[in-house]
Structure 1
Amino acid sequence: MTKFLETHQSDIIYAASVVAIVVLLYLLTRALRKWFTKKIQEKLPGASVRPIHLIQRILTLLWFLLGITALSFIIIDDEREAIITEYFKLFSYVGVVAVLTIISLMISNLWFKYKISQKIEGNEDPTNYKFFRYVALFVIGIMGALIASLAFPSLKGVAQTTLGGAGIMALIVGFAAQEGLSNITGGLFIIAFKPFRVGDRIKVSDTMVGTVTDVTLRHTIIKNFENKMIVIPNAIINKEKLINYDFEEHILCEHIELGISYDSDIDLAKKIIREECENHPLILDTRSVTDLEEGKPLVRTALTTLNDFSITIRAWAWVRNHSDSFSLKCDVLESIKKRFDKEGVEIPYPYRTIVMKDFNEKSIEGSE
């Protein structure tokens, strides 16, 4: 045993040093992970710390692989030492690139989230930061993958060409044939021309109405009034004709329409509709000083259509925003119906007059 220790003393010391360094690096990585996690949670409560855990796992795997590679130098011959050295360099290069890429992604993501939270707290538009956050993360991820691929001989030529500039043009041209580029372009148009912003209530169609929650590289997310998320590709929503209820002025005019029978009193029906609208707490007075001096009513009512079996009366009721308009319309329709029933104004059912002719009787009279 003593002879064995004397013979392999240098190898034992080398192996012990490698194991000690790997253990020390593991403990240091773990301690740094806890410290960074604590700091991030203090600065940005609720922020995701998954990237830090991922960095710890990558570094732990890297230390383990480097340790195994270093220990293998003890038992391999000189011919294979060069191969192991190349693997050692490969593991180190890929590991460092992966860690730096993840750190860059994490720092970029946290910075954008911090700026977005500042915008939201200051009641400012966070749409630009939300969109360019995805752009930055996408670019950093692609660059990290290309730089990591330089370590592999079979991919080195492609990576160098792409990073050199000509490859980027080829990549863009190839990508242009795909739908993805049109979505990215649509997202850029949304950011540049701002037909809507995050937090705006928009209507794309009768089934797609809600609040914009996010604009990504590929799609726009709308949360409807049923708390369901609607995902619309940017290329589609950029072409649609939509209604933005929060664009510039928020006030809007809600049309309250009801049909009454031809036998009902039109003036009474108009009076009931006007009074019920004016008595609602959400109604907004948009009359000017001149309108008040001329005695114009708060809510205008008029007969708009003569239908087959009914008369349509419309009221123009102004409200502060889209939410108020929906609430006012529901309340007023109910109160008007009750007033109509009480005061004898009829909301008619469809009427059809059927004329019955007795063809058999005419045939008999003709034969006589």
Structure 2
Amino acid sequence: MQEQNFEYVLLVIGTLVVAIIVSTILRKLVSHLINKNATTLKADPTNFYFLKNALPFLIYAAALLFILLKIPGLRNFGAALFAGAGVFAAVLGFASQKAFANIISGVFILIFKPFKVNDWIILGEKWRGWVEEITLRHTVIKDMENQRIIVPNSVISDETIINSHYLEKRICKKITFGISYDSDISRAIDIIISEAQKHPLHIDYRTDEDKAEQHPDIPIRVGDWADSSIPINAYIWAGSPEEANLMKSDLLQSVKKKFEESNIEIPYPHRTVVQKQSGKTI
């Protein structure tokens, strides 16, 4: 009896060790295949990453089932467990509803693909960055500071997603420049267009027909009559969201220098205080 129990213990330990080894090897193998072949085959790596993260769950489930079938005592327990599967499923479902919601949401992400691995997304009002990994439970987003944001899949399903790589990468970046009411607005617009056209990341996406009809390369619109400034909006095309952000940073710097050279004022908020008793303005 003791020898038999010892054999069962060895069976359990051996099965778990084999499951761990097989899981580790398969995850590394799949990772290697993804990194090596995804770009060459021009295949979407999202499916492979999801499969890689689902493999351990499947392997451990198979190992548990093997142990239940091989040990008579556990086999009876398994039969009783399946006999009461209805009650067990209800209890398990209630206790693990969030976990199952994450898994189901992860499957929906895989099927409907609102985003893929390496896409730049804005998730609600809190998170933005590159999608690095999609697992059964959560999605990993890498932000501009190289930090990893781990968001449960069920939370993602309830959020509005802005995907800058959906269908195409190119983006029309809106950059706003504010000038004072006393400044020469025509001169300011000329400076913005000139600086934008000189930038190496700016792309002219006009068709030959657009050029023949003299549609502007960089549309400029006066946004409003604000409290302290006149906002001028420039709509500039770039090849990707990353390039658009770099271009915006460079243009904010170069346009400011040109504004200073041309005596175009970049205003700051002003307040006029009236003293009611005397009627004088301070």
Specify if TM > 0.5. yes
Deviates more, 1:182-191 or 1:304-313: 304-313
- What displacement does 1:218 show? 0.8
Greater share of helix:
1
Aligned to 1:87: 5
Pick closer, same or farther for the CA change 1:98–1:359 going to 2, 3 Å: closer
What's 1:175 paired with? 92
What amino acid is the match of 1:278?
Answer: Q
Q: Pairwise mapping of residues 52-91 of structure 1 onto structure 2 (< 5 A)?
A: 83-91=1-9
Distance 1:259 1:357 in 2: 32
- The DSSP-based 3-state class of the residue aligned with 2:201 is coil
Deviations 1:235-276 (A, max 9, x none): 001221111111111111111111111111111111111111
Q: In structure 2, do the counterparts of structure 1 residues 337 and 146 end up closer, same or farther at CA, with 3 Å as the change threshold?
A: same
1:311 paired with 2:230, answer yes
Asked if structure 2 preserves the Cα contact closer than 8 Å seen for 1:210 and 1:225, the reply is yes
Q: Would you say the 8 A contact 1:98–1:148 is kept in 2?
A: no
Instruction: Find the counterpart in structure 2 of residue 120 from structure 1.
Output: 38
**Conserved 8 A contact 1:257-1:314:** yes
Q: Quick check: 1:270–1:302 contact (8 Å CA) kept in 2?
A: no
Tell which deviates more after alignment, 205-214 or 251-260: 205-214
Paired AA for residue 271 in structure 2: R
Whether 2:246 is the aligned partner of 1:327: answer: yes
Equivalent residue for 2:156, pick from 237, 249, 265: 237
SS at match of 1:285: coil
Go from structure 1 to structure 2 and tell me whether the alpha carbon gap of 1:109 and 1:160 turns closer, same or farther (over 3 Å shift).
Answer: farther
* 1:353 aligned partner: 272
d(CA) in 1 for partners of 2:3, 2:227: 91
Call closer, same or farther: CA 1:166–1:132 in 2, change over 3 Å.
Answer: farther
Find the aligned partners of 1:106 and 1:324 in 2 and give their Cα distance.
37
Decide which of 191, 194, 201 is 1:272's aligned counterpart. Answer: 191
Alignment of 1:144-293 (within 5 A): 144-149=63-68, 151=71, 153=73, 155-162=74-81, 167=85, 172-177=89-94, 178=96, 179-293=98-212
Whose relative contact order is higher, 1 or 2, with alpha carbons under 8 Å and at least 6 apart? Answer: 2
Post-superposition offset of 1:110: 4.6
Q: 1:223 Cα deviation (Å)?
A: 1.0
The alpha carbon displacement at 1:357 in A equals 3.5
The aligned counterpart of 2:262 is: 343
Query: How far did residue 359 of structure 1 move?
Result: 5.8
CA contact (8 A) 1:131 1:217 kept: yes
- Shift, 1:134, TM fit: 2.6
Q: 1:84 to 1:206 in 2, by over 3 A?
A: closer
Unaligned runs of 5+ in 2: none
**Deviation of 1:143 (Å):** 2.9
CA change 1:131–1:158 in 2 (3 A) is farther
Change (3 A) 1:85 1:218: same
Higher Cα Rg: structure 1 or 2?
Answer: 1
Counterpart secondary structure, 1:295:
coil
Give 3-state SS (helix, strand or coil) of 2:224's partner: strand
| Whole-Å separation in 2 of the counterparts to 1:353 and 1:127 | 57
What is the aligned partner in structure 2 of residue 72 from structure 1? none
Could you say what secondary structure the match of 2:111 adopts? helix
1:359 and 1:110 mapped to 2: Cα distance? Answer: 80
5+ residue gaps, structure 1: 1-82, 361-368
Q: CA RMSD in A?
A: 2.5
Contact 1:277-1:283 at 8 Å conserved across structures: yes
Count residues with an aligned counterpart.
275
Give the residue type in structure 1 aligned to 2:34: I
Q: Distance in 1 between matches of 2:180 and 2:278?
A: 34
Partner of 1:109: 27
Does 2:192 match 1:294? no
Cα displacement (A) at 1:307? 0.9
SS at match of 2:264: coil
Contact 1:147 1:159 in 2 (8 A): no
Conservation of the 8 A alpha-carbon contact between 1:303 and 1:312: yes
The CA distance in 1 between the partners of 2:210 and 2:16, in whole Å, is 70
Report the identity percentage: 33
Question: For residue 92 of structure 2, what is the amino acid of its counterpart?
Answer: F
State the distance in 2 between where 1:171 and 1:220 align.
29
